[in-house]
Structure 1
Amino acid sequence: MQQPDFDTILRTAVRAAYRGGKILRRHFGNLHHVRKKGAIDLVSEADTSSEAAIIETIRSRHPDHAILAEESGASREEHATFQWIIDPLDGTTNFVHQIPVFAVSIGVSYRGELVVGVVLNPASGELFSAVYGEGAWRNGEPIHVSSTASIQDSLLATGFPYQARRMIDVVVPRFSRCLQAAQGIRRLGAAAIDLCYLACGRFDGFWEQNLKPWDTAAGTVIAREAGARITDFSNHPYTLASDQILVTNGRIHEDLLQLLNIEGI
């Protein structure tokens, strides 16, 4: 891919993330309106206010770019070469319960290729970012995936889909196999943070099902640029349309594929 200058895009994404993060910090522990989009899928005034500030920041600098946002959906700019993919609050359930594991997630695609990713945890102050072909960073310092070479020495992460109660016969066997094989498994409740923790070597592998594009767009750029391998459970290249994602440091990828692929499910 011929690479244009993405520096301006990155600066806008960082500015937008901090604007959204400031709103989230103001609402953290101070929510008044929480509603359900599904049985266990929550949305609050923090989500919508953060999203509005992020979109306003993007529109002020890149009015011709397309936007796909979790709460407001997709814009319809014709012939847009750039698309911004936004989750204004990844980890809403954590946020509502005052658990400080949540993030603003902003990914940007150019001609269909994800090229910029920014993930900010306003509670911890950690800012993860990446640009196509230039590497990934945590608060401005380069990051890389771990060098762990075996499943038994690996700390894994996963998430449970909102449809988990209907998919229990699929989710639990995979979780059980991985739990028996690995050093441990964590379930943080925010896929963007899972992906960034993998990118900086805290986790060695991550898998989940039924995520949306705004859950993974930014985090997969950051993980990829940090050296991660990213596929679906069948080892096909991951795309934002995939309903499965497997991300590892590369060294344990084949072993995790075997654990996740169970005959009959």
Structure 2
Amino acid sequence: MLITNTESDARLAVTAALAGAAVVRDMYGTTLARYEKSAGDFATAADLAAEKAVLGVLRAARPDDAVTGEESGHTGADGAERRWLVDPLCGTLNYAVHTMLVAVNVALRVGPRITAAAVADPFTGEVFWTDGERARLRRGGADEALTPSPGSRLVDVNLDPPFPNAPGFRAVRLLADPEFAEHFRPRVVSTTLAVAWVAAGRRAAYVTDGHVHDSVHFAAGTAICEAAGSVVTGIDGQPPHTGAGGLIVAADQRTHAALLDMVEHQVRAGR
């Protein structure tokens, strides 16, 4: 009989993310077939192979769970109590042009909550993970607690579409805000690995517009940040997945308040 408590689910998330990361690492630098999905968006053979590896681990251990994969879509009942959210290669364009800034995201939603999650960096071997209570970094076989910090002053801003709150809010306009330039330094790494970096103290914050409910891109990273004690809201300061949507993930309340004020000012000016 399978034990499906949050601790074992978290171990499974780590195992699955590492399986995907191994594929991503092994295929790096090879000639990869591309599969167009929409204008400006594509998957590579590595995305598909990594997702197959992740799903193989999950289905072997939890055959009755539903799954949403970035490439394979939904399996299982629409209203399933337990659903795995899998992004096998977040940062596909980076990867396709031989840039080692990517992540493998695996999260488990039980009811309305993400109860286990892992974000693996294929090239450092690091895995950021949570069992819904603790947030840890696994490196070299050892786990250490994740501690957010605003000290870097680095804020990652996602500039990829969609932009559902435009024209009232555009993330790119944050970069031209004098207040932003006074307090922070922008970064755009184009992968949600940067969300996990907030939990680890490597980023002061992360900002994105978009629809993030049940997102295979954001579910794992935001769950890790919440467990680490980061401040996680939508761009309007409301709880995630409500209101205007999007995300402000900040190391502390002061950083969050500063960014929220900039967003609100932008929205007011656009009315």
TM-score (norm 1): 0.89
* Correspondent of 2:149 among 127, 146, 149: 146
- SS of corresponding position for 1:99: coil
- With over 3 angstroms needed to count, the CA separation of the structure-2 counterparts of 1:172 and 1:80, relative to structure 1, is closer
Give 2:260's aligned residue: 257
CA RMSD of aligned residues (A): 2.3
- SS of corresponding position for 1:25: helix
- With over 3 angstroms needed to count, the CA separation of the structure-2 counterparts of 1:242 and 1:6, relative to structure 1, is farther
Q: What letter corresponds to residue 153 of structure 2 in structure 1?
A: S
Give 1:158's aligned residue: 157
- SS of corresponding position for 2:21: helix
What is the distance in 2 between the residues matched to 1:242 and 1:142? 32
> Residue 129 of structure 1 contacts residue 137 of structure 1 at CA under 8 Å; is this kept in 2?
yes
Aligned-pair CA distance for 1:32: 2.6
- With over 3 angstroms needed to count, the CA separation of the structure-2 counterparts of 1:106 and 1:225, relative to structure 1, is same
> Residue 119 of structure 1 contacts residue 127 of structure 1 at CA under 8 Å; is this kept in 2?
yes
Aligned-pair CA distance for 1:209: 1.3
Deviations 1:74-129 (A, max 9, x none): 11237632110000000001100110010110011111201111010111111111
Give 1:42's aligned residue: 42
TM-score (norm 2): 0.87
Give 1:186's aligned residue: 187
| Structure 2 gap ranges (5+) | none
Of 171-180 and 81-90, deviating more is: 171-180
Q: What letter corresponds to residue 41 of structure 1 in structure 2?
A: D
Give 1:196's aligned residue: 196
Give 2:235's aligned residue: 233
- With over 3 angstroms needed to count, the CA separation of the structure-2 counterparts of 1:10 and 1:172, relative to structure 1, is closer
- With over 3 angstroms needed to count, the CA separation of the structure-2 counterparts of 1:76 and 1:241, relative to structure 1, is farther
- SS of corresponding position for 1:214: coil
Aligned-pair CA distance for 1:138: 4.1
* Correspondent of 1:248 among 247, 250, 254: 250
What is the distance in 1 between the residues matched to 2:219 and 2:158? 16
- With over 3 angstroms needed to count, the CA separation of the structure-2 counterparts of 1:208 and 1:78, relative to structure 1, is closer
Give 1:130's aligned residue: 130
> Residue 171 of structure 2 contacts residue 208 of structure 2 at CA under 8 Å; is this kept in 1?
no
> How does 1:165-176 map onto structure 2 within 5 Å?
170-176=170-176
| Structure 1 gap ranges (5+) | none
Q: What letter corresponds to residue 229 of structure 1 in structure 2?
A: V
- With over 3 angstroms needed to count, the CA separation of the structure-2 counterparts of 1:121 and 1:242, relative to structure 1, is farther
Aligned-pair CA distance for 1:158: 1.1
Aligned-pair CA distance for 1:137: 2.8
- With over 3 angstroms needed to count, the CA separation of the structure-2 counterparts of 1:214 and 1:162, relative to structure 1, is same
- SS of corresponding position for 1:215: coil
> Residue 40 of structure 1 contacts residue 162 of structure 1 at CA under 8 Å; is this kept in 2?
no
- SS of corresponding position for 2:109: strand
Instruction: State the number of aligned residues.
Output: 256
Give 1:31's aligned residue: 31
Aligned-pair CA distance for 1:64: 0.7
- With over 3 angstroms needed to count, the CA separation of the structure-2 counterparts of 1:37 and 1:79, relative to structure 1, is closer
Deviations 1:20-45 (A, max 9, x none): 11111121110330133222212101
> Residue 161 of structure 1 contacts residue 210 of structure 1 at CA under 8 Å; is this kept in 2?
no
- With over 3 angstroms needed to count, the CA separation of the structure-2 counterparts of 1:30 and 1:211, relative to structure 1, is farther
Of 28-37 and 132-141, deviating more is: 132-141
Percent identity over the alignment is 24
Aligned-pair CA distance for 1:52: 1.1
> Residue 150 of structure 2 contacts residue 255 of structure 2 at CA under 8 Å; is this kept in 1?
no
